[in-house]
Amino acid sequence: MLSFAFLSVFLWGSQVIAPEFETELWPEEGRPRLQAPAGLISIREKPCSSATLIGKVRVPPNVDLVFDETRYQTLQAGSLRALSDVTVRGRNLGPIVSISRASYDDGQFPDAQLTCAKGTLIKYLLYRAEGTCFVKIGENVIEADPCPDSDAAAFVSESPAKTEWWIRVRQEGKPLGWALVDGTEVTEVGREF
């Protein structure tokens, strides 16, 4: 059974908006090494830019941050248009808006082949790893392998996805809150394999 317990809610103005899609997986392979070059990071109560700011936290600059959870979110899906009749292959995750790490790894999702007619518009959600990505075709989220955006003869990108990547930072064995991996306050410096 899928777990949807970690779905975040966003507040933009007076409107409450949930991300279009969210996963507990970080982008790409290997465990990311993340650092705060300036030694100061903004910590929020939830993985959301409009969530309550707990405060600015000092951390050792250029030392790997410790984190125990991650959320990779699609705030607004991008779009890909089929240039010809084409088949998208991958795992059919169904009509979901979020997926936990455990659900992703447990092997419950069937392989799928979906035919997209010329002109079909599909939603591009998130890059995953090793040439795969999450897309939405109709009501179903597909972990496409290979990602349709890699085939310029079959698909054209009409708009990019707007995404955010969050980590739950720990210090002295305790969770502090959520920090945005934005390339400024928190930057990726490498991967561990």
Same domain, 36 and 52: yes
What residue type is assigned to position 148 of the chain?
P
Mean pLDDT by runs of 10 across the 193 residues of the chain is 36 56 96 97 95 94 96 98 96 97 93 96 96 97 96 95 97 94 97 95
How far apart, in Å, do the first and last CA atoms of the chain sit? 30
Classify each residue of 39-74 as buried b or exposed e, where b means 16 or more C-beta atoms within 10 Å of its C-beta. eebbbbebbbbebeeeeebebeeeeebbbeebbbbb
- 38 within some domain: yes
Same domain, 107 and 58: no
Same domain, 157 and 88: yes
The whole-number pLDDT of residue 6 equals 36
Q: How far apart are CA 65 and CA 181, in angstroms?
A: 11
The whole-number pLDDT of residue 17 equals 55
The whole-number pLDDT of residue 18 equals 77
Same domain, 80 and 149: yes
The helix (run of H) or strand (run of E) holding residue 102 is helix 101-105
Same domain, 141 and 176: no
Global confidence as pTM: 0.88
Q: How far apart are CA 155 and CA 81, in angstroms?
A: 5
Q: How far apart are CA 47 and CA 52, in angstroms?
A: 10
Number of C-beta neighbours around residue 139 at 10 A:
8
The whole-number pLDDT of residue 71 equals 97
Q: How far apart are CA 50 and CA 96, in angstroms?
A: 23
Identify the domain containing residue 93 by its residue range. 76-162
Q: How many domains does the chain have?
A: 2
CA triplet 44, 24, 9: central angle to 5 degrees?
Answer: 50
Same domain, 116 and 170: no
- 11 within some domain: no
